[in-house]
Structures are given as structure tokens and as C-alpha cells.
Chain A
């Protein structure tokens, strides 16, 4: 089913054709709603992460300012915007040509299929439009009670920490069946009360991920930090939204690759008029263009799926079980690296900017996976609360150092929420370091222990441990 509430008849017909073609090709998706908007609206929606409504924050205003300036100066233009939701909602820009609309529609069906079927998206909230709306309402109410400035400060602090979650947690929860059946429990107690029986006592549960050691620092704070109820609520909202967005970071290459693969196939197999082919080729090659030193997720993704198809893989199965890192592990081989002219680069030791370091496909593959693991984020584990009550965070070092000064600012916000000092162990140029934030400010000290905790080896080229829980 495709719904097209405000589309002109011509586009409604095209949307229907695109849907039929997508279904015939084997794509499977929730209902897709196409909404036609003008460019200014789309910039606003994009600044809100694709949602019609978010909580009040200056950051959305800043993003809008940037997008809108970029658009008015003709520097950037958003073609497509689609959100993971049931129904899947996609926006079409009114000023686009018919060919561009067709391209966007076919592309959207690719994303819609990916959202519905990829394992990493399975645990995500599918009624996120309503959830975002509810979050906005809650924060509005909290602001009214606590004062806007206070809530804004708290929100900014919490948002700095949004990377401190465990990308693997939601999937583990689903697999182990541990996720709490809230609806079922609510229904049971409702029925009990209606029947005149005493309601079952609420089962005290801690948030999954809040037991030490954990990567889900936010869950731990929500459970154990000395916070006001409203502050917990803010953290909970930030955590929910962070988990919702996390799979998109983990599957950017696959998701864009899959959508590009299908728009290209569907359009050239009947959706396009012969007269539109040249314009399409121009547009498509623009989107998949790559520059040296840059990896374009559209380009890399589409080539990986094409490569997989040539090798006789079941591409539908691949799109179901992988994230970017494991997908590359599965597919990148010598032929692929050669054909796509992949290389690794490093800074020229004599100066003069980066230079090509290696074209060895194993090296390329290892570096690529390394940079994509953990959603491309630093991997930070909350190890323990030490004897003095301070939090100890450990950066699982994968060869890339952190900007310690900025990390110090971040953990000082964490210390503020925790109400006691916070230590972060990391490596810097192979040296063990301990960053400490507390009442006295931020300090960095050498730390022998960190060398072992953070990686065991100081070699910057250490191979990261592989997470293959999906396979």
C-alpha cells in the first residue's frame, strides 16, 4: 500500500507504479506515505531528523539555519528524506522534476524495505512519529515546571552523552527474549483490577544495560545517578532517541547502497521513459560520485550489492543480517578492492598532506571495518564505580586516539550528573592516560594501568575484536 495524501494525480500514478515494480522485484515494506513539501519545509523537517515535531532545542534551529542557508545559496539541496516508521514516511520536494520524483520514489522503497527487514532495525520503535511527539510534550511540560533554561542545560548535557550507548544491546535483548512486555503487563493488571482482583505487584526491573560493566552509560545514569525525576526523564528521552537512530549509523553504507541498487534497477527496467534516461544517468552518477580520499556510502554500498549479486549471494539475505562492518567483512575481496580502486592513506611523514599507503586488499578491508565498527564511534565502557565513588570509563582503543581535551569537557558534564568525579582511561600516542573530571576541573595524567585496560597492546594497528553476533 502506498498513500499519497497531497500528491498531484500524475505523481500518485507514478507512486503506484513504483510500488508495483518494487513489490514485483521482491521488496517488502510497511505502508509508505509520500508527502509533498516545498524545499523550506523539507529543510525544517530534515533539521528535526525527518520528524514533523521534536522537542524544543536550539540545535534544531542551528541545523535549519545551516540547511536553509546552504539551500538558498544553491550549495546544497536535499533530494530525499525517509523515516523508519510504520507507516514509512517519505517526503518529495515539490520543485523536483518528474524524473527526480521517480528516482526518489524508487529509492524510498529500497529504504523502506531495508528498515522493515534489516535485523538491526528490528528492535527499533516503529511508531516513532508518535513517540517523538510524546517526547516533545513531556519536555514541554517539564520545561513549564522546571524552567526552560534549566531544562535546556540538562538536555544539552544529556545530548553530549548520547553516544554512550551499546549498539549491540537492543539485538541481544530481542534474542534473549529479555525485553519487557510492557503492554502485556499493563493489560494483565488492568484486567485484574476490572475483575476485582488485586493488581499484580509491579516487578522491579532495572533498565537493561544498567549492570556493570556496561557500554550503556546512559542506562546506568538513569538507574543510579542522584538525579531529580525530571532529569531522569530527560535522560530517558535522549537514550530512547539515541537507540532509535543508532542502526542508521551502523548501516549507512548498506542502507544507501540497497536503496541506490534498487532505484537504479527499477528505473532502468521500465519506470523511466526513454527520454529520461540521460537525465537519470546524470543524476545517479552525481549521487554516486566518489573523490579520492573520500568514501561515498552510496557508491560503496551499491558496488557491494552488485558484487554480491555477481558472486551469486542471496542479496535479500545479506540485507537482512548484516551491518556495515560485517557486510564488508563478508564481501570485500581482492577483486572488489581492485575494481573499486580502494586504498588506505596516511599522512605523508615528510609533510604535504595524506598519501596512499597501501593497496593491499586485506589492509584496506581491515581499516575499513575498523573505522565502521561500533557505528564509527569510540567504544567507551563504563567499568566500575571505584572505592571513592567515582565512575571509571575505559576507552577500548582501536588504533585511533581520542581528542582528550574535548573528552575531558564531556566527562566533566558526566561528573556533574553523577555528582562525583569521573575518570576516563585512554591511550594517546601509545601512552596510557587518565582524564579526570571533578569539582576541581579536568586534568590529564599518565596512567600505566590504562595501557592494559584500553587495549592490552599499544600497537596502533591492532586488529579490533570482531563482533559477529548477527551471523
Chain B
């Protein structure tokens, strides 16, 4: 690598700073679009940003005239994009025509999201901390290996002893430590709280959930994941789809699966509960179930079964349960009404209705705005 590249790093960093600034300004736009989805690689997300153009004097619309080269009769359509090449030095680069991808770390994006939506940081609940053995050399003992000898402490003790014995001679300040003076560093283990969380994304994939509804869920799930990932060191995501029965799928299937048939919401809740009881025990995990549907359920009986599942089993075990109701052409939206009526007072249940992409930001704020 030559020196040009190193010099370039400064200009590049400055450019990325500017882009971040713009990203901050335009975050609302990204909150309702699918542009960022599927761009995650490890801890970074690559964000497509339009090239920044300085205003210039440019030829406008009636410039779609020009000179070209190739076969064809007069009046025949010109294939290609109809722009002059840079031969004529006049191709109109519309703003936004050139798109660059900039990598941004998840933490940074989450921090922008928090600023935009005024999200509080999450305080993991005391009992939900997973303890791990952390250790630091913060203690002292009087025996140990040479390599761990604490020089300053040893010298101090030796000096004190020398003075106390009356052997201190400022003209010849010699201090000789004896074995009794020596102190060694000791490793102290302290239980360190380590925060782990699991996210359950549950979605109704029955016939009434269309493409747009699923897109909205995808966008919501992306931002929720981004936020929670920035808050917890250790995150696992479980995807559950349900129609009349529930099953665990991977993220690819989650967003693209389309089933037909009825809707039995309780099936998903039961599956989540089973996982919480077996794999993600509440004393070790912060648990965040999200459920998205268009609000139709098979029967009122199943709805009341859901409500009792939530009240008696799920809510006591999870940090927060979020229900997002996406409006669809067929959905009645009844489930949210029932939920609000029966469990509206619950501290850790949030329900939000999303009628369109513009409301995604509000729903995310509702879900994550409580900081629990």
C-alpha cells in the first residue's frame, strides 16, 4: 500500500463523517424503507447513500437530444439509456443516480435511532443477569510468583521497615527488601453481570397477510434487532411463524413464507412459552417477544386462550411483550381491541397499530420507548 492510500484515509473519513451527518438527518426516510434490509454483515450495516453533489450549472430536460452511433432507421427507438456518453461531456448526472454504500457500525446506527426516537437505554433487570466469572488483579497477598510481585507496595514496606529500624541514611538511600516485605498481586474474581437477550419474532403468515404487510414487519424487525443488539452483548433471535400451527423458521423463511389457511395465534404463544421454559430461562435471559399480525384470529375462544396465556404465563416471564398490528385489506383488527381491553393495564405489554410505512417509526418508539 502506497502513501496515497494513507493520505486518502483522511479525506475518506471526512466524507464518511458528512454521510453520517446526512444519515442522521434522513433517518426518518430509512425508518420506512427497505433499503437497509439485508445489508448486515457482522457488526456493520452497509447503507446506500446517494453521492453528494455540489450544485452545478447543468443542462436540463430538453437535453435528451443528442448524437449517437449505431444502426437503425430514422424514427427507430434508440436502445441504451438515451444519455450522451461523457464524450460530449454533458451527460446529466441526476442527483441520486450514483449510489455509494457506506458501512456503519450497528452501535452507531442504534445511537442515531435512539436520538431520532428518543429511546431510553435499557436497564437489564437485576434478576435477569447472567453471571460470569470475571477477574482482575486487584488484590494483594504475601506469597506469589516473581512475575506478579507488586514493586511499589514491596518497596514501600521495605522503606518503612528500614526507617523504623533506624537504618535509613539519606546520603546512601539504600533499601533492601526482605522476604517479609514482598507483596504480590492477586487475582480477585468478581461476578460480572453479562447481559443476554432473546428476541422472539412471531408472525401470522396466513393468507390475509400480504406482501406489503410483511415488508412492514421486516422493517420493524430490522430496527428492533438493531436496537436490541446495541443494548445487549449477547443476542439470539428466534423466528416463529404461525397460521393454525406454529413452527420455528430461519429469517429467510420468516420474511418470505406464505401460507394459506386459518389463524390460531395461541399456537405461536404456546411455542414461545415452551422455548422460554426449556431453553431461554427467565433467570438467565432478557426476553422480548414481538408478535405481528393483521388482527384476525380463528375464534374468540382462541383469543381468550391467548389472553390467559399472556396474563398467566408469558407476561410474568418476559421483559416486555409487543404486539404490532399491521393493517391489511382483510384483517378485522379485532385482536388488538381484545388485547387492549383485557390486558391494557399491564406494565409490560405494548400494542401498536401500524397502518402504513409512515407509522413504523411511531410503533418502534412505542415498543422500545419504555426502556425495559
Contact = CB atoms under 8 A, between A and B. Distances in A.
B74 A356 contact: yes
A192 interface: no
A402 B7 contact: no
Contacts of B8: 44, 47-48, 60-61, 64
A156 B89 CA distance: 22
A401 B61 CA distance: 7
Contacts of A252: 86-87, 89
Interface stretch (B96-104, B253-261, B362-370): B96-104
Interface band, chain B: 35 or more
Interface in A22-39: 37-38
Nearest to B62: A401
Given A44-B5, A65-B15, A292-B79, A406 B56 contact: yes
B60 A404 contact: yes
A127 to B, nearest CB: 19
A343 B68 contact: yes
Given A44-B4, A160-B55, A357 B65 contact: yes
Contact of A402 (B13, B15, B60, B77): B60
A62 B15 contact: yes
A55 B79 CA distance: 41
A163 B74 contact: no
A265 B26 CA distance: 53
Interface stretch (A225-233, A373-381, A448-456): A373-381
B115 interface: no
A419 B266 CA distance: 70
Given A377-B89, A380-B57, A45 B80 contact: no
B73 interface: yes
Interface band, chain A: 35 or more
Contacts of B72: 292, 343, 356
Interface in A372-391: 372, 375-378, 380
B84 interface: yes
Interface in A147-206: 156, 159-160, 163-164
A371 interface: yes
Contacts of A429: 62
Contacts of B74: 343, 356-359
A388 to B, nearest CB: 23
Contacts of A291: 70, 79-80
A249 B86 CA distance: 10
A368 B1 contact: no
B14 interface: yes
Given A292-B70, A342-B69, A402 B54 contact: no
Contact of A344 (B13, B58, B67): B67
A348 B56 contact: no
Contact of A376 (B4, B77, B88): B88
A355 B75 contact: yes
Contacts of B89: 249, 252, 371-372, 375-377
B8 to A, nearest CB: 4
A462 interface: no
Contacts of A400: 59-60, 62-63, 90
Interface stretch (A12-20, A97-105, A273-281, A295-303): A295-303
Nearest to A159: B54
A367 B65 contact: yes
B2 to A, nearest CB: 4
Contact of A65 (B5, B12, B66, B85): B12
Contacts of B51: 62, 66
A163 B15 contact: no
Contacts of A463: none
Nearest to B57: A378
Contacts of A377: 57, 89
Interface of B: 1-5, 7-8, 10-18, 51-52, 54-90, 92, 98, 100-102
Interface of A: 37-38, 40-41, 44-45, 47-48, 52-53, 56-62, 64-66, 69, 156, 159-160, 163-164, 249, 252-253, 290-297, 299-300, 340-348, 352-359, 364, 367-368, 371-372, 375-378, 380, 395, 399-404, 406-407, 409-410, 413, 429, 460
Given A352-B77, A358-B74, 10 more contacts: A41-B1, A44-B4, A48-B4, A61-B10, A164-B57, A292-B80, A294-B80, A344-B67, A345-B78, A371-B90
7 contacts: A57-B14, A58-B52, A61-B10, A252-B87, A294-B68, A401-B61, A413-B55
